[in-house]
Structure 1
Amino acid sequence: MAGNTPIGNLQLSAATYFTGSSFIQLQKVCEAMQLQIFQYDTFRRHARNYMEPAIVHKWKMDQQHHFQQQLSLGGSVAVGGDMRADSPGHSAKFGSYSLMNLESNTIMDIQLVQSNEVGGSYHMEKEGLKRCLDHLEANGFKADYIVTDRHPQIQKYLRERNITQFYDVWHFEKGLSKKLEKASHKEDILKKWLQSIKNHVYWCATSSTTGPEKVAKWTSLLNHLQNVHDHEDPLFPKCLHPERASRDPNKWLQPGSVALHKAEKLLLNKRVLKDVAKLSHHHQTSSLESFHSLILRFAPKNVVFPFMGMLCRLYLASMHHNENASRVQATTSAGQAVYKVVYPKAKMGEGVVKPVKTDPTFNYVHDLMRLLMEVFEDPTSFDEEMKTIPIPPDLSAENTRTPKAELVARHVSRFNLEVV
């Protein structure tokens, strides 16, 4: 006991919170085993008074340490940015914008935005990016360039802020592939070229360094589909593959055909050409997408969290990701690299080989458990740090609440069987 607080109860609450677990599920396990456990209100009191201040303090200390390391290498940094909403569609309550250092694959900053702060969920992504960039600039950083998806508001905002923007290749390829698959339903010859067109997207981006060069390689695709391998653009006058006679002349698209018209309409429209010129030729945001999947372990979308609870769980996910961002591939006792075979739904039964990483570590949890006792013994300075975080009012606070007695009085069941 420490005062009136059982230390075991405090440690159980902290271990549950810091590992991203659910107290409700823990409570069900204990009830099934007929074990006595404290109530949820006690867990929330522990979280509010001790655990959340410890999480916020550790994240800020880790972030400042990362900033100092990066500043020693130079104040310019290549970043990737993307937003994750807590629910699909345009009805999200929270939007978290993550900014990742693409050189080290570590989260530099993460900002949580509530929809009523910006007038709707559609505007959360722009506000999250603005807060992230402002925070970086306040700490002496300048974004060398940023890799994002093709959100229209983000494009305009970065253009006004004079920050170079590149598009993530996977997001571009995904959108284009959907249109190509829809167009190829009645065109079997175009369907045979879908995988080659997807590969060409990545090749154009990674083998080029300038926008015009990417566009020149991309526009050569339409000639290639017709078995024409010499092109008019001087930046890419000829295909690089070896010349060889085709064994199946029917695989090529014929001039004037419906398939060629559909391909030209999709591949060479103005927006596609404009986007191809801005494809990222170096870094992508795949690690950022993996981080968003990791957040589900700490903040599932089917669970409602208060603002501070969601923010702290995002910080926990960031700490876990940063600690394990540089894991290497596992090896056997003989020194051979370990792989696993997975069968993604999109591959239609075709297996894909993926490297197996070494086991993750959880040193940040041990550090938080030690820090917890410091907060418990003297919470004053930690409470002051918590007060610097602005917490927006709940969404329900904007509306007038009807008294419970009035709601009960006018409640009528739709399945009332009384005779009319």
Structure 2
Amino acid sequence: MEKLAFKNCHDRILENSYDVQVLGTDRHPGIRKMLREEYDTIDHQFDLWHYSKSLKKKLPEACRKPNCHELQEWIAPIVNHFYWCSRTCRGDVNLFWKLWTSLLFHVRNIHQWEEDGQNSACLHGELSIFEKNARWLVKPSPPYKALEDIIASKQLKNDIPFLVLYCCTGAIEVFHSNVLKYRSKRLHYRMNSMEARTTVAILEHDNNVGRQQAIVKRKTTTSEDVGQPRTRLEHPRSRKRWIVRTIYDPVTSSHVYDIMDTILRIAGRLLDSTWINKEVNIPRNIAPTERPVKEEAVARYRS
């Protein structure tokens, strides 16, 4: 179903003369094969958020191995390093791999080393006091071996060409979350209602995309100084640690006034409606076989 929906949507985009050069998806094997065989001119990339989820799953599993608990505090830095490699490599597969595997030196508190006859070094600045007191790993040791198996895995190395353009679908995930306000998954809607509710969600999203970080206007006991960007501290149960959230400008609904004005003009016959009923050609039953007579079906069921 997911593969068919992807193909229909993608073909519709191409039919409308859009030039698709890069396409980011999750690692769905069927979609991956389809893009390779039918759309080979498109640069297929993996969504970094979905890929990082697999790292966040593998790293805690490695921590649960015997004598590997020291890896726990490295999980967040490793995931951050993964994003940084994709953003910094500028599409270069070899540079991504070099930056990514440099992590195996950094976790051992080695920040300058020689590799393949060339001198290399970490690109970070001087470490803070907190960073200097990190639980550095030792080679060889169980936690280092467990980490090395993940960082230098054959699967990850083969996936690097799909990770070098820093494709993130976070904005789409935000839109999908916003759609639920108008089109709940718990209720069934007819086609016309689905289209209308989705359109309203799109209008609200487009009217609020690109909001700037809010600025502190009044000093409180927990806020930054006046004029500074606003943030807040949160402790999600899934993260198990305190994190910093960015506070953006409030959502605006100014686009609703344009919708109301258009509705009133159509109602007053000052504007012609171009709406087309989408339910005319939709069959009542989409099952592959004809609907039986209920009495006959019940009789067969009881016999």
Distance 1:191 1:318 in 2: 40
Q: Following TM superposition, by how much is the alpha carbon of 1:213 offset from its aligned partner in structure 2, in angstroms?
A: 0.7
Q: Following TM superposition, by how much is the alpha carbon of 1:237 offset from its aligned partner in structure 2, in angstroms?
A: 2.4
AA in 2 matched with 1:147: G
2:53 match = 174
Matches within 5 A, 1:81-120: 120=1
Distance 2:61 2:280 in 1: 46
2:121 match = 238
Distance 1:335 1:247 in 2: 33
Matches within 5 A, 1:101-180: 120-135=1-16, 137=17, 141-159=18-36, 160-180=39-59
Are 1:342 and 1:354, in contact at CA under 8 Å, matched by a contact in 2?
Answer: no
Cα displacement string for residues 216-274 of structure 1 (whole angstroms, at most 9, x for unaligned residues): 1112222333444415258982222468899779731322x333332222222222123
Distance 2:229 2:103 in 1: 37
Picking from 245, 249, 252, the partner of 2:137 is: 252
Distance 1:290 1:298 in 2: 14
Cα gap change, 1:130/1:343 in structure 2, threshold over 3 Å: closer, same or farther? farther
Are 1:167 and 1:280, in contact at CA under 8 Å, matched by a contact in 2?
Answer: no
Q: Following TM superposition, by how much is the alpha carbon of 1:391 offset from its aligned partner in structure 2, in angstroms?
A: 5.8
Distance 1:302 1:268 in 2: 43
Cα gap change, 1:394/1:286 in structure 2, threshold over 3 Å: closer, same or farther? farther
Distance 1:391 1:221 in 2: 58
Gaps of 5+ in 1: 1-119, 413-420
Are 1:343 and 1:349, in contact at CA under 8 Å, matched by a contact in 2?
Answer: yes
Cα gap change, 1:152/1:409 in structure 2, threshold over 3 Å: closer, same or farther? closer
Instruction: Indicate the RMSD between aligned Cα atoms, in angstroms.
Output: 3.5
AA in 2 matched with 1:237: S
1:199 and 2:80 correspond: yes
1:347 and 2:239 correspond: yes
Are 1:226 and 1:253, in contact at CA under 8 Å, matched by a contact in 2?
Answer: yes
1:398 match = 288
Matches within 5 A, 1:350-389: 350-363=242-255, 365-376=256-267, 377=269, 382-383=274-275, 385-386=276-277
Picking from 177, 183, 186, the partner of 1:293 is: 177
Cα displacement string for residues 268-297 of structure 1 (whole angstroms, at most 9, x for unaligned residues): 222212323432555522111111110110
Are 2:214 and 2:230, in contact at CA under 8 Å, matched by a contact in 1?
Answer: yes
AA in 2 matched with 1:352: V
Are 1:168 and 1:284, in contact at CA under 8 Å, matched by a contact in 2?
Answer: yes
Structure with the bigger RCO (C-alpha within 8 Å, sep 6+) is 1
The secondary structure found in structure 1 opposite 2:157 is: helix
Identical counterparts, % of pairs: 29
Distance 1:249 1:343 in 2: 22
Cα gap change, 1:163/1:372 in structure 2, threshold over 3 Å: closer, same or farther? same
Are 1:327 and 1:357, in contact at CA under 8 Å, matched by a contact in 2?
Answer: yes
Are 2:47 and 2:169, in contact at CA under 8 Å, matched by a contact in 1?
Answer: yes
Cα gap change, 1:410/1:390 in structure 2, threshold over 3 Å: closer, same or farther? closer
The secondary structure found in structure 2 opposite 1:237 is: strand
Cα gap change, 1:319/1:237 in structure 2, threshold over 3 Å: closer, same or farther? same
AA in 2 matched with 1:129: H
Gaps of 5+ in 2: 219-225
Q: Following TM superposition, by how much is the alpha carbon of 1:367 offset from its aligned partner in structure 2, in angstroms?
A: 2.5
1:211 and 2:106 correspond: no
